[in-house]
Structures are given as structure tokens and as C-alpha cells.
Amino acid sequence: MQLLNTKYNNPTIADKIFKDSLPGYYYPKPSYLVQYGNELATSIKTIFPITKQILQEVEAQDARFISSFVKLENQYECLEVISSKRFLAKLFLNHMGVLNFIDSGSQPGYAFLKLSDERKRSTSLWTEFITASGYLSAKKLRNKFHSLVTKAIIQAKLDDKVSIIEEAGSVILSINHEYIIEITLAFMCCGIWPRCASAWPHLYALWPCPDMVYQVREVGFHLLANGIQEKQINSANNENEAWHISFMEIEDKLLERGCRRLCLTILNYLRDTHLNLPGQPLQNYHMKTILLYECEKHPFEHEWGYDCIQDRLKGIFLQLVSCLQSRCCPHYFIPKINLLDGWPTAVLDMATRQAWRITRQIITNPDQLHQLAQESM
């Protein structure tokens, strides 16, 4: 197993969101998607300098929290877009080669980091966050980081623009009362695959092909210190030490070819404008998950040409309605995790009705997608 202190590279939304992956083929960008891309670019330009300043102040307080939150050649490193107003920033940590990845005895989707040798405790950068049993505690690190961020906001004189949203298990900032950015501590894992995702891809899957599976597994996955689903972990299983497994970079790699990326952009747009319901039972990650399942249902590249977008979107929304009606949306890599678990029936019923309204309009009228977009402009 190898843990790497690696910077995550993500293209700018404005420049890359419409990147064509089929050479020589031009797909006209609908005006609503151009506007959506511009809104995302504006959001990033607003939050980036503020977040960068806060992380620089954090590093000045504690040099172990080194900020790699920079812009290089029109690329924003360590930043992921959750929605047009919500973002995730990752602060990668250096493990100094003394931690092992352990995902036995944990709930699906979580893992532990443990000292490889008790004699190396004193050589670890994170000695005070390692428990008596040798686990690197995600909760202790989060608490430390939370206090550093709180001080950094004050020292940077940003308390009139930035406030911390008190949410258990995460450092979440509200910027200008309009944008939300979650900053999470992270490690990158390479050379190993989580046991809870060992069934992926299933035996008879035609997509992704074996070469692509090999490529994305080489990319590696991330361990995040956020505690979004911490309540799901049994207290007997060291929930304070558990790290959340994230496959976001692998998912993005899988969606590079054909019109998959453009489909995701359209889905995110429709979620932000038509499915942004109270409590947000549907998030962009649900849309990405269902898109990945649609890729399995249509495994051949000719099914993802730009002339097939309408058909793929119909299938995705039909799947979405089915998931909402059954109250079950399995995680793509870890099917034991239900991404709709815990939501009240009334909330999911509301989401079902709204999703079905969009589905019916797309199916009955090929031009309805553009009309739906016009409703929100």
C-alpha cells in the first residue's frame, strides 16, 4: 500500500466544461449551459482567493497543514465542484510513510489509518492525533483543523465575509452568505483497492473495459476526514478514527469519453435549477452515480455520441425516478451503501414527483430540455 501526498488537479469549469472528447466533432453549446458554465466560473473566482488566504493563514499557524490550493495554468488544484454554489477543497496531508490502510472491521465506505510499527510513533508528524491503539484519529485532526481555520478567519480579517457553519464532522464555510465550501483533510491512496469495493466491476460488465479498469485503479482513491455519514458508523467500530473513502477522481476519469461529461453537466444543471428541493435530498453526486449505471447499461462508445444525448438523458431520469420510488440509490462502487438512506418518505415523494415531471417532459417532447432550461433563466 502506498499513501501519497499528491495534489489533485481539476480543470477550470469555464474552460473545460464543454471539452469535446470526440476529435473533429462539434457539438453546439446551448445558451443555458454556457450561462451555467459562466456562473460556475464566477463562483470559483469569488471563493478561490478567500479560501486560499485562509489556508495560508492556517499554514502559518501550523506548518504541517501545507496548502496546495493554487491556480496553475488555468487549473484550480485541490478544488471540486459539488454544485454551482457549493464546493469541496481538499488539503492533502503528508503521512511520512508510517501509516497503513485498513478497511477490515469498518463500515462500508470507511477505513482506518494505523501505525505500521508502534516504534515509529515518535517519527510521525501526527503523534498527538494517534490513539493508544495506534489509529490516526480523523476526528481529532478535524477538531484541530477547525480551531486553526477559526483563528485564520479572524487573523485574515475575513470575519465580515466568512462564517463557519457548525456541522458535525466537517469544516464548512459560508462565503458572502452565498457560497458554501467544505474544506476537508485528505490522504491519497495508490497501489491498493478497498475491500468494500472488491466486487467492482461485476463479472459480466462490458463497461468499463479491463484496460480502463486498470487505468482508473492506478489513479488511486482518497481518504477524507469529513464526517458526513459518521452517524452510520457503529460506536464499537472506532468511529472517531474512521476515514471516508472517496472515488471522485476515479469517477471523473470514467466519464471522460464521448458525451458522458456533457451529460453530467446537463444533469447537474437540471439538479441545481429544478431539483434543488428543501433539505436537498437529491445532490449532484446522485446524478453522477446514476449516470455511471447508465454507462454500464450502454457499454459501447457509439451509444455515447453527441447525437445520443437525448436518449441517454431519458434513461438516466427514468432510473432516477425508479430509485426515488424504491427509496434506494446504491453507491456505484459500494452497492451496500444506499445514497438515499435516512431521508423522510415525504421528502423523497416530493423529489419523485418533480423528477417524474422532468422525465415526462423530456420523453414526450424532444425540445423540452431547452424549454426546461428557459424556465430557470
Give long-range contacts, CB 8 A cutoff, 24+ apart: 304-308. 304/257, 304/258, 304/259, 304/260, 305/22, 305/25, 305/258, 305/259, 306/22, 306/25, 306/27, 306/258, 306/259, 306/262, 308/259
* Share of residues in the chain with pLDDT > 70 (%): 84
Assess whether pLDDT exceeds 50 at residue 81. yes
- Lowest-confidence region among 112-116, 132-136, 337-341, 362-366: 362-366
> What is the pLDDT confidence band of residue 121, given thresholds at 50, 70 and 90?
confident
Determine the angle formed by the axes of helices 368-376 and 260-274, rounding to 10 degrees. 50
Q: Which residue has the higher pLDDT, 238 or 353?
A: 353
Mean pLDDT for 219-246 is: 71
pLDDT at 124: 78
For residue 211, give Cα distances in angstroms to 125, 215, 218.
Answer: 37, 6, 11
pLDDT at 2: 41
Mean pLDDT for 288-298 is: 98
Mean pLDDT for 258-283 is: 92
CA distance 89 to 69: 8
Assess whether pLDDT exceeds 60 at residue 296. yes
Q: For the CA atoms of the chain, what is the radius of gyration?
A: 21
Q: Residue 98's closest CA among 68, 145, 134?
A: 134
Average pLDDT of the chain?
Answer: 85
pLDDT digits (tens, 9 = 90+) for 13-28: 444 444 433 333 345 5
Assess whether pLDDT exceeds 70 at residue 37. yes
pLDDT digits (tens, 9 = 90+) for 337-374: 999 999 999 999 999 999 999 999 888 886 666 666 55
User: In one letter, which amino acid is 65?
Assistant: F
> What is the pLDDT confidence band of residue 106, given thresholds at 50, 70 and 90?
confident
Mean pLDDT for 284-305 is: 97
Mean pLDDT for 233-253 is: 78
Mean pLDDT for 82-96 is: 87
Within the chain, what is the greatest distance between any pair of CA atoms?
Answer: 67
pLDDT digits (tens, 9 = 90+) for 139-170: 999 999 999 999 999 999 999 999 999 766 67
pLDDT at 28: 57
pTM assigned to the model: 0.88
Assess whether pLDDT exceeds 80 at residue 5. no
For residue 205, give Cα distances in angstroms to 68, 183, 200.
Answer: 38, 36, 9
